[in-house]
A and B are shown apart, each in its own frame.
Chain A
Amino acid sequence: MSENPIKMDEELGMFDKPRNVKRLLFTFYTCVALLLVVDLFYHKHAIFAWESYFGFYSVYGFVACVILVILAKYVLRPIVMRKEDYYDD
C-alpha cells in the first residue's frame, strides 16, 4: 500500500528520539500481525493449492529472507570475500 511515504515521515525523527523508533516498530509489528489475521478470514484465489494454505506467503517471505541472509553471511561471504585491494597487483 502507500505505507512507504508514511513510514518515511515517521522515520524522520527516528535517530534523535528512540521513542519514535519504538513507535515505528510497534506500528510495523501491528501491520504484520493484522496481515496474518486477515489470512484467516479471506480465501485467496489460487493457482497452486499451497497458495491458499494459511499464511503461505507470510511464512515463505519470512523464511526465504532468513535463509537468504544466513546463506549469504555464513556460506557465500567466507568463500568470496577478499580485501579491497585483491585485484590490485
Chain B
Amino acid sequence: MTIDALPPALIMILGGLLVPLFKGRARQVWLLALPIISFANLLLIPQGSHWVYPFLSDHLVFGRVDKLSLIFGYIFHLVAFLSALYALHVDDTVQNVAGTVYAGAAIGAVFAGDMFTLFVFWEALTISATFLILARRTEKALGAGFRYFMVHVAGGLCLLAGIILHVSQTGSAAFDLIGLSGAASWLIFIGIGVNCAWPILHPWLTDAYPEATITGTIFLSAFTTKTAVYALARAFPGTEELIIIGATMAAFPIFYAVIENDLRRVLAYSLINQVGFMVVGIGIGTALSMNGAIAHAFNDILFKGLLFMTMGAVMYRTGKINATDLGGLYKSMPLTCAFCIVGAASISAFPLFSGFVSKSMVMEAAAHGDMRWVWFILLFASAGVFHHAGIKIPFFAFYSHDSGIRCKEAPLHMILAMGISAALCILIGCFPQYLYKLLPYAVDYHPYTASHVLAQTQLLFFSALAFTLLLLAGIYPPEIRSINVDADWIYRKGGALIYRFCQWAFDGINDWANRIFAQRFPQLLAHFFEEPGGNFQKYGYRLWVEASGINRNQEKVDRNIDRRSRNAAYPVGGGVLLAVMLLALVSVVLYLR
C-alpha cells in the first residue's frame, strides 16, 4: 500500500457513524464536508486494485478503481453532497447518520472488487435505506419500511446464495463478468434484479420511496437502483434477457404513472421507467449501448434527484403531495417551479437538457442492432415519460386548477441544491463531451445532429399536443383520491392471507390443546384423585362387571366402596398385599432386563 489515501467508502461510513458527536451548526458543516473530503480522497486513488486482503481462499478488494467504478463513484459523491445540502435543515440523528452511511455503502459497493465485499456493502445499503424510510415515523412509513426491508433481505439472501455457489464452483470471488449460465449466475442475476426494481420485483420502490422522509427520498432515488445498474454493467453486459426486462421496465410504469395521484409515486414509477433504458443498454452490450446506459444512469441521478427535490420542497412547504390537493403553486414557488421544469425537460430528453445526450445512445444502439420492437417500445416510453414526468408533474403541482395554497418559496439550502442540480442538467445537455470523457468506452457519438434534434422535438411536441387536447376534451383521467394495486398486492394481501390462515390453524390447535390438556384432563385427574382408592375400586369393579357379565347391585357396591374409602376402613392386609405385588412386579421386570 503505497498510496496515501483511504478506502473509498471509509470516510462516508465512519464519518456518518460519528455524526451523533456533533450538534447544530457543527453537524451541518460535518455533513456537507464529508462528501467533499471523500471525493478528494477518491481523486488521490490511482486506477487499479487497492486494499486487497486475504480472505478464506480468496481476497477482499476494497478499492477496485477503473473507469466503470469511477464514473459511478463521481456521481455518487456529487449526489451525496447535493442531498446533504438539500437536507441541511434536518436535525434528526437517525436521518443524518442513515443518509451518510447509505451514500458510503453505495460508494463501497461500486468500488468492491470481490463479491463478499460487494455483498456487505449491498446489505449496508438495505439497512441504512430502511432507516431513511422509518424516519418519517408515520404508520404508513413503518409498514413500507418493514416491507422494504423484507424484500431486500430476500433479494440479498438470493444474491448471497448465488455468490457462495459461484465461489465454490469457480474458486474465485472476483466480481467481474459472470454472464448467465447455471444456477449460481441466475441467483446473482435475480438478487441484483431485486435492487434494480425489475418488473414484479419492483413494488418495494413505488411502495417505499413515496413514504420515506422528504429528504430521505432524495438519497433513496440515487443509490440503490444505480448500484444495481452498476453491478449489472459489471457482471452481465450483453445478456439478452436484460433487453426484454429493460423494455418491460421502460413501458409498464408509465401507465401507472398516468393514473397515480401521489406525485412522488409518479416519480417513483418514472424512476423504474428510466432504469429500464439503462437495463436495455446493458443487455445490448455494445460499447455504444453500455456507454448510453452508464451516461443515462449519471444523468438520471441528477434529474430524478432534482424532480424529487422539487416535489419534496412542495411537500415541505404545503404538507401535501397529492395532485388532487395541489395546483397553482407557480405564484408561491416560482424558483422551485422553474427547477422542476428543468428536471422535467431533462428527463423528457429535450434538446439542450441532459436526458437528450444519453437516452438516445441506447435507442441508437438498439437501432444499430436492428432490434425494431425494442426500439419501438423505447420510443413509446420516451413519449410516455414526457407525458407523465415531463408534463404531469409540473402541471398538476404548479399550474392546473388553483388550489388556493399560498406558501413561502423553498428555503435557501433547498434552492441551492435544486439550482446546482438544474445547472448541471443544462450543462451536461449543452456540453455532453465532459460527460462522455468519463465513460468507460471510447465514444464517437454526436447527439446534436439536425435529424436527431428534429425527430426528438417532434416526438415531444406532439406528445404535448396529445396531452393538451386530451385535457381540453376532458378525456385525460381526472386525479382521484385512490391507490392503485401493483405486484405488491401479492405479498401485502397474500401476507395478510397467510397471517389469517396461520391464525385460524394455529389458534385452533392452541384452543383445542388448551381445552383438552389444560382444562378437561386436569379436571378429570383431580376428580379421580379426590378418592383415588375408592375410584380405583369403583371403575375396576365396573370393568369386571362388563367383562364377566355378573351383575350385582351397582349402586349398593358403590355406596359401600365410598363409605369404606371415606372412613379409610380398609383392612391393613390389603395395602400390604398391594405393596408386595408391586415390589414383585418391579423385581420381575428388573430380572428380565
- Residues from chain A with a CB closer than 8 A to the CB of B402 are 15
- Residues from chain A with a CB closer than 8 A to the CB of B450 are 42, 44
- Residues from chain A with a CB closer than 8 A to the CB of B482 are 81-84
Asked whether any CB of chain A lies closer than 8 Å to the CB of B29, the reply is no
Minimum C-beta distance from A76 to chain B (A): 5
Look across to chain A and name the residue whose beta carbon is closest to the beta carbon of B465: A32
A61, B256: Cβ atoms closer than 8 Å: no
A23-50 toward B: CB 8 Å interface, digit per residue (1/0)? 0010011011001101100101111100
- Residues from chain A with a CB closer than 8 A to the CB of B334 are 12
A47, B330: Cβ atoms closer than 8 Å: no
- Residues from chain B with a CB closer than 8 A to the CB of A62 are 462-463, 465-466
Asked whether any CB of chain A lies closer than 8 Å to the CB of B204, the reply is no
B383, A81: Cβ atoms closer than 8 Å: no
Minimum C-beta distance from B528 to chain A (A): 47
- Residue count of chain B within 8 Å CB distance of chain A: 63
Complex Cα gap A82–B468 (Å) = 27
- Given that A64-B380, A77-B477 are known contacts, is A4 also in contact with B459, CB under 8 Å in the complex? no
Minimum C-beta distance from B178 to chain A (A): 31
Contact of A35 among B341, B457, B496 (CB under 8 A): B457
A61, B484: Cβ atoms closer than 8 Å: no
- Given that A5-B341, A86-B485 are known contacts, is A47 also in contact with B368, CB under 8 Å in the complex? yes
Contact of B375 among A7, A38, A48, A77 (CB under 8 A): A48
Asked whether any CB of chain A lies closer than 8 Å to the CB of B85, the reply is no
B567-586 toward A: CB 8 Å interface, digit per residue (1/0)? 00000000000000000000
Minimum C-beta distance from A4 to chain B (A): 5
Interface residues in B440-470 by Cβ distance below 8 A to A read 449-451, 454-468, 470
B455, A68: Cβ atoms closer than 8 Å: no
Asked whether any CB of chain A lies closer than 8 Å to the CB of B258, the reply is yes
Complex Cα gap A45–B449 (Å) = 9
Contact of B337 among A8, A42, A87 (CB under 8 A): A8
- Given that A8-B330, A11-B330, A82-B484 are known contacts, is A72 also in contact with B458, CB under 8 Å in the complex? no
Interface residues in B306-341 by Cβ distance below 8 A to A read 328, 330-331, 334, 337-338, 341
Minimum C-beta distance from B141 to chain A (A): 13
A36, B458: Cβ atoms closer than 8 Å: yes
Q: Looking at B451, B455, B468, B475, which has the most chain A CB atoms within 10 Å of its CB?
A: B455
A4, B485: Cβ atoms closer than 8 Å: no
Complex Cα gap A15–B384 (Å) = 27
Per DSSP, chain B at the interface is: helix
Asked whether any CB of chain A lies closer than 8 Å to the CB of B264, the reply is no
- Residues from chain A with a CB closer than 8 A to the CB of B483 are 81-84, 86-87
A44-61 toward B: CB 8 Å interface, digit per residue (1/0)? 111110010001011111
B454, A48: Cβ atoms closer than 8 Å: no
- Given that A4-B342, A44-B454, A72-B255 are known contacts, is A65 also in contact with B468, CB under 8 Å in the complex? no
Minimum C-beta distance from B529 to chain A (A): 47
Complex Cα gap A32–B536 (Å) = 103
- Residues from chain B with a CB closer than 8 A to the CB of A72 are 255-256, 258-259, 477
Complex Cα gap A71–B257 (Å) = 12
Asked whether any CB of chain A lies closer than 8 Å to the CB of B60, the reply is no
Minimum C-beta distance from A74 to chain B (A): 9
Q: How many Cβ-Cβ contacts under 8 Å join chain A to chain B? A: 167
Minimum C-beta distance from A9 to chain B (A): 9
A57, B458: Cβ atoms closer than 8 Å: yes
Contact of B462 among A7, A38, A58 (CB under 8 A): A58
B459, A66: Cβ atoms closer than 8 Å: no
Asked whether any CB of chain A lies closer than 8 Å to the CB of B119, the reply is no
Look across to chain A and name the residue whose beta carbon is closest to the beta carbon of B327: A15
B406-448 toward A: CB 8 Å interface, digit per residue (1/0)? 0000000000000000000000000000000000000000000
B383, A69: Cβ atoms closer than 8 Å: no
Complex Cα gap A88–B379 (Å) = 38
Complex Cα gap A35–B450 (Å) = 13
A35, B461: Cβ atoms closer than 8 Å: yes
Asked whether any CB of chain B lies closer than 8 Å to the CB of A73, the reply is yes
Look across to chain A and name the residue whose beta carbon is closest to the beta carbon of B364: A47
Minimum C-beta distance from A64 to chain B (A): 4
Asked whether any CB of chain A lies closer than 8 Å to the CB of B166, the reply is no
- Given that A65-B463, A81-B484, A83-B482 are known contacts, is A15 also in contact with B328, CB under 8 Å in the complex? yes
- Residues from chain B with a CB closer than 8 A to the CB of A46 are 451
Asked whether any CB of chain A lies closer than 8 Å to the CB of B240, the reply is no
- Residues from chain B with a CB closer than 8 A to the CB of A70 are 475
- Residues from chain A with a CB closer than 8 A to the CB of B461 are 31-32, 35, 58, 61
- Residues from chain B with a CB closer than 8 A to the CB of A55 are 458
A65, B387: Cβ atoms closer than 8 Å: yes
A1, B384: Cβ atoms closer than 8 Å: no
Asked whether any CB of chain A lies closer than 8 Å to the CB of B301, the reply is no
Minimum C-beta distance from A2 to chain B (A): 6
- Residues from chain A with a CB closer than 8 A to the CB of B477 are 69, 72-73, 77
A69, B475: Cβ atoms closer than 8 Å: yes
Minimum C-beta distance from B114 to chain A (A): 40
Q: Looking at B334, B341, B463, which has the most chain A CB atoms within 10 Å of its CB?
A: B463
Complex Cα gap A57–B363 (Å) = 14
- Residues from chain B with a CB closer than 8 A to the CB of A68 are 254-255, 258, 380, 383-384, 387
- Given that A38-B454, A39-B458, A44-B454 are known contacts, is A66 also in contact with B341, CB under 8 Å in the complex? no
Can you show 18 pairs from A to B with CB atoms below 8 A apart?
A3-B350, A12-B334, A28-B468, A32-B462, A42-B451, A58-B459, A58-B461, A61-B463, A65-B384, A65-B387, A68-B255, A68-B380, A69-B470, A69-B475, A69-B477, A73-B259, A73-B476, A76-B484
Extra A-B contacts (7), CB below 8 Å, given A29-B465, A58-B462: A12-B331, A32-B461, A47-B367, A62-B465, A66-B470, A69-B476, A80-B486
